[in-house]
Amino acid sequence: MIEKSEWTISTLKEHFEQQLKALESKCKADTDLLTSRANNAAEALDKQAREYERRLSDLNGEAGRIKEANARNVSREVYEGDKKSDDEWKRRMEGLVSDTVGQSEFRSYKDSTSTALTLQAGSREGMKVTGQTVLAVILGLAAIAGIVFGITAHSGSLPAPIIYVTPSTPPPPGDPATVKVKP
C-alpha cells in the first residue's frame, strides 16, 4: 500500500479502481446468489401449484363418488318410514289372523312372522354370511387339522396297525403286522 504522503492523482485513481473492482465482484456474487434464490423460490411455487391442482382434481372426483354413494343409500327418514309401515302391517295382519284362527295357531304364526322380520332386519343391516367369513372358517379348520397332524407326527412314529385275524380267515399276503389268535 502506498503511504499517505505519496498520494497523487494517479495513485488515488488506481486505489479507487481497485476498490471499485472489489465492490463490483462482490455485487455480482450477491446478484448471482439472489437470482439463484429467486429461481429456486419460483420453482418451489410451481411445484406447490401443481400439487394443489392434483389435490383439487382428486377432491372433484370425490364429490362425484360421494354423490353416487348417497344415491345408492337410503336416508334415515325413508328407512324409519319403511320400518313404521312394516310394523303397522304386522299389527294389522296379527289382528286379522287372531280373529280367524285359534290361540295356538296364532302364537305359532306370530313367532314365525317375528323370526322372519328379525332375519329381514338383520339382512338390511348387513348381518350376512359373506365369502370372506366362509373362507376364514375353512382356513381356521384347516389350520387346526394341520396343528393336530403336526403334533401327532412330531410326537414320534406311529406304530403300524395290528389286524387280528381269526384262524378261518387267511392273513393278507406279506403283512408283518398280522397276529393270529388261537381259539
* 3-state DSSP assignment of residue 10: helix
pLDDT tens for each residue of 57-86:
877 778 788 888 888 888 888 889 999 998
* Closest C-alpha among 66, 120, 63 to residue 89: 120
Q: Does a structural domain hold residue 53? A: yes
Q: Are residues 44 and 89 in the same domain?
A: no
Distance CA 83, CA 81 (A): 5
Quote the mean pLDDT of the chain. 78
Q: Let me know if 58 is exposed, middle or buried by CB neighbors in 10 A (0-12, 13-18, 19+).
A: exposed
Lowest mean pLDDT, pick from 2-16, 69-83, 146-160 = 146-160
Q: Are residues 68 and 96 in the same domain?
A: no
Tell me, what's the pLDDT at 147? 79
Q: Are residues 13 and 68 in the same domain?
A: yes
Q: Does a structural domain hold residue 157? A: no
Q: Are residues 23 and 55 in the same domain?
A: yes
* 3-state DSSP assignment of residue 180: strand
pLDDT tens for each residue of 111-151:
887 787 777 666 555 545 566 777 788 888 888 877 777 77
Q: Are residues 69 and 14 in the same domain?
A: yes
Q: Are residues 69 and 97 in the same domain?
A: no
Distance CA 166, CA 179 (A): 9
Q: Are residues 17 and 49 in the same domain?
A: yes
Distance CA 4, CA 170 (A): 137
Rounded to 10 degrees, the C-alpha dihedral 170/175/177/183 comes to 10
Q: What is the span of the domain harbouring residue 62?
A: 9-73
Q: Are residues 56 and 91 in the same domain?
A: no
Q: Are residues 13 and 49 in the same domain?
A: yes
Q: Are residues 92 and 68 in the same domain?
A: no
Among 73, 98, 113, the domain-final residue is: 73
DSSP letters along 128-162, please?
A: ---HHHHHHHHHHHHHHHHHHHHHHHHT-PPPPPP
* Whether the Cβ atoms of residue 97 and residue 113 lie closer than 8 Å to each other: no
Tell me, what's the pLDDT at 4? 62
Q: Does a structural domain hold residue 47? A: yes
**Number of structural domains, the chain?**
2
Q: Are residues 23 and 67 in the same domain?
A: yes
Greatest CA separation for the chain:
146
Q: Which residues contact 164 (CB under 8 A, 6 or more apart)?
A: 179, 181
Percent of the chain whose predicted confidence (pLDDT) is above 70: 72
Distance CA 57, CA 12 (A): 67
Q: Does a structural domain hold residue 30? A: yes
What number is the average pLDDT over the span 45-53? 93
Q: Are residues 14 and 65 in the same domain?
A: yes
Confidence of residue 183 (pLDDT cuts 50, 70, 90): low
